[in-house]
Chains A and B, each alone.
Chain A
Amino acid sequence: MANAAAAPQDGLDQTAADTGLDSVVVRFAGDSGDGMQLTGGQFTLSTALAGNDLATFPDFPAEIRAPQGTLFGVSAFQINFGSRAIHTAGDAPDVLVAMNPAALKTNLAALKPGGLVIADTGAFTKRNLDKAKYDSNPLEDGSLAKFDLLAFDISEKTIEAVKPFGLGNKDALRSKNMWTLGLALWMFDRPREPIHDWLKSKFAKAPDIADANIAALDAGHAYGETAELSGPQGNVFRQLHVDPVESEPGLYRTVTGAEAVSLGLVAGAQLAELPMFFGGYPITPASAILHHLARLKEFGVTTFQAEDEIAAVCAAIGASYAGQLGVTSSSGPGIALKTEAIGLGIMTELPLVIVNSQRGGPSTGLPTKTEQSDLYQAVYGRNGDAPMPVIAARSPSDAFEVAIEACRIAVEYMTPVMLLTDGYIANAAEPWKVPDPADFAPFPAKFLDTPNAKDADGGDTFLPYQRDEKGARPWVKPGTPGLLHRIGGIEKHETTGNIDYSPDNHQRMTDLRKAKVENIAVPDQQVALGEKTGTLAVVGWGSTYGPIHQAVRRSIAKGCSVSHIHVRHIWPLPGNLGELLEGFDHVLVPEMNTGQFKTVLRDQFLVDATPLTKTSGQPFQIAELEAAIAKYFDGIEGNEGGQVLANDQQLPSVEASNP
């Protein structure tokens, strides 16, 4: 993850160093219509501009507008920012902003003891308390005694602030999130200007609305600045400054995984010198990639919203056949539908990039929650022996490089490639050191336009399945004179490509397809943190990078002989990985599934990999990984690793999912 920094600022009451904090976790929670994702997103931007490294975790319901005030309609956005490198969205929040009783109820369990609750008393009405199943008002009945509480009527203050703009009460209350954001910006000493600019451009066509929102934002900020805010325990709340983090020089921006994948695909197509064809079908959480690419037509990108997932991948295969870089994207259920066509891509040996933004499964599962449970599907999930390269992004910014790598493998080896991200990576944002496209080696696609073989009489002839040194067949654009040929899903002769069901030929073709994928050049596996040998290797893949890295860092600091290995190339695996794992007494594999990568490692290397599994739809917490690692160092036999039980520190609380 990239780091970010900014100039220190003067006039602060208190710094994070004074309070012993090097990072702060803030969670905004409200009704799904309250604009919490927006508030969180803008707070993220301001935080990045203030020079803090950060990670975010948007957590929202599957329903677009769940009934107002209900427990299952709560939408939350968590951000962890600090003066050190941040790798996760943080475990327990230090500050919880609760816009209504339901938001308080579903998120309070996650708050650190002694943490700060900011609540809008205007929303704690009898009706809302009933909907959240509160018998009495928690702001008044003393049940929040172990927390710091700042409760005031945000609704009323917002209405006052926007009064000059003549909005009705209902419209005025829409600016409540901006008022709250203003207060948060003051508390953490974030700049307001970027939000002003953003509001002006967002509401360029309705300057009144922009002004009203700016007024609400400024009012929230001013309230923090001028009011003597005092919690029930008498602690005067004062402005908190978190120092900027030291980081590599360069140009920075924030990026979400969906943006990074889109940009990486555009970069990959440019490096391959190909126009890109993207076939997509709306599905959570993958649609954002389609949305981003639809706005990049000047980069030679054609986006096609197909009638279904199958048509989306088939159109991409058609475009690859015609000489473009075909790309499709979906999440687990959609990938299942695309499976037969992916087999066609493997059989016809055409380039194709398939992005899977994984979500909780099986079936419809948990559309807005995160999981890593499509690894078997990616590696093994097709009829017949259908080998396909699989690579996984570990963070939003990493997704850029991984997307380029997927394009490279697809074009150089004439094969479909699956790129795995997940709901967490797709939605989360982090600072990103803007890469220079010139730093990436081009891999221009080669199209055959002359015969590639000699016939028995020494004359020129064309063999559509004659392979190069990489095992790849030639790519011929339809329209090329003299190289007419037919391809299809039926087994074909190993050079001519003509239909051939003969036993020897099928044996050879199966072997050739397998060898081609297995021999893909994959960089050697590096150790992300720690020594190259030791007691314990914690092996992860995908979005578990952040929590594993922090947990291993803390464990090393405690003196444990533990290393973090994070695998990008899931299939084929790096050639040195087996040997690397042999250098450790134990191998622990934390995954947000029931142990899928563990199976692959055991199968490929006969290594005694222990699974550490979690399928609550929520990312791992650092603390739970740290605890699992500690078990290897307490000397108690048979107490290593194992399953992580869902606990009340996870997000959201159980009540949110089961009201």
Chain B
Amino acid sequence: MNAPAKFETTLKDWETDQEVRWCPGCGDYAILKAVQRTLPQLGADPAKTVFISGIGCSSRFPYYMESYGFHTIHGRAPAVATGVKLANPELDIWLVTGDGDGLSIGGNHLMHVLRRNVNMQIMLFNNEIYGLTKGQASPTSREGTRSPSSPLGSVDHPAKPAAFALGAGARFVGRGFDVSKHLPDVLKAAHAHQGAAFIEIFQNCIVYNKDVFDDFAAPKGAEDRQLWLEDGKPMLFAGDKKGIALDRDALELKVVDVADGNWEAAGVLVHDVTKRQVAHMLVDMPFGPFPMALGVLYDDPRPTFESAVIAEREQASAGKEANLAKLLAKGQTWTVSGTAQDPV
């Protein structure tokens, strides 16, 4: 929790007077509502909440949140947010980025904000396409994606946002999708995490990449294709008839059938959000043979960057006087008085 004091608000309090300019049916609307619904539950204070974004469809988000907001430049929101947090650690920062903004032009900054562990929530809206520039393939587009810039189908391998985050040193990795009713729970967990909390949110671009996530996000058959992870609970899906177990010889995950609810006998793993090695396997789990891992995949806090910076500054300043006149006259000096001078 970033701000311990509870503040009474409703969803309406978080809506601005600005006209929302996303395409009708865009997944961003659902995410906006989920965030506006979550903040009152967190007791967040709008005056101490700052939404910071880069460039792209997702990055218009701050204009629609009745809080402080900074719509920065393409890819650089993590760097701006780092400066804001270091200058005022009491502010509760939500970073909004996309697959192009966060993983292409801003990949470097995303990596560093995660490894430094600056305390903020980072929501990466992954729609696997460049929307605002009219539909080019993005770094998360699947191979073969046909777009104006890849008319014969893209040939590059897609990046996996959650795997990238974990590899960069993130101490919290969550996943959800725009219309999921569980999204607020993931946001709350991210907010409770002290440090950089990375949330990949699959988001449907209705115009340029319509229903690309239907393979796991469509309501029909969802339980067979979604693995919602909960700390301390077995990794079960498909109505608890299937589970995720560890193939100890191959050191990889496998799907096992669970007979008569006896998941222990089937060797199904119990989710422990602090297990980094398991998280690495979960973010890399290929969809198709496996379900899509969703929820809180990893959550193991460690001291934040800003707390280390503040502690270092306090330690370095302890017992020292901030006397500018003395600082200017530091080192070896000499005085000149009239014509007679003496080295000091």
Contacts and interface: CB of A to CB of B under 8 A. Distances in A.
Contacts, number: 220
A234 interface: no
Contacts of A321: 70, 80, 83-84, 87
Contacts of A527: none
Contacts of A302: 86-87, 309, 313
Contact of A486 (B70, B86, B90, B312): B70
Interface residues of A, number: 81
A89 interface: no
B47 A482 contact: yes
Nearest to A51: B341
Nearest to B313: A297
B84 A298 contact: no
A479 B88 contact: yes
A51 B324 CA distance: 25
Interface string B82-104: 11111110110000000000000
B191 interface: no
A6 B341 contact: yes
A488 B321 contact: no
B79 A311 contact: yes
B133 interface: no
Given A253-B331, A277-B87, A297-B317, A486 B341 contact: no
Interface in A329-364: 340-341, 343-344, 348
Interface in A296-349: 296-300, 302, 304, 306-308, 310-312, 314-324, 326, 340-341, 343-344, 348
Contacts of B321: 298
Contacts of B82: 304, 306, 311, 315, 318
Contact of B327 (A248, A299, A324, A498): A299
B220 interface: no
Interface stretch (A32-40, A111-119, A434-442): A434-442
Nearest to A325: B87
Interface string B62-80: 1101111111111010111
Contacts of A275: 87
Contacts of A435: 328
Contact of B109 (A51, A311, A436): A311
Nearest to A477: B88
A149 B226 CA distance: 86
A559 interface: no
A12 interface: no
B316 to A, nearest CB: 4
B342 interface: yes
A314 B109 CA distance: 10
A314 B48 contact: no
Contacts of A254: 331-332
A216 B324 CA distance: 37
Contacts of A307: 79, 108-109, 111-112
A251 interface: yes
Contact of A322 (B87, B337, B341): B87
A495 B257 CA distance: 64
A324 B85 CA distance: 11
A-B pairs, 8 with minimum CB distance:
A318-B83, A488-B71, A315-B83, A314-B79, A322-B87, A486-B69, A311-B79, A478-B68
8 contacts: A7-B341, A249-B338, A266-B324, A300-B322, A326-B83, A485-B69, A488-B71, A489-B71
Interface of A: 3-7, 45, 48-49, 51, 191, 194, 197-198, 244, 246-254, 263, 266-267, 270, 275, 277, 279, 296-300, 302, 304, 306-308, 310-312, 314-324, 326, 340-341, 343-344, 348, 434-438, 477-490, 498-499
Given A6-B343, A198-B332, 5 more contacts: A51-B334, A249-B335, A249-B336, A252-B336, A437-B324
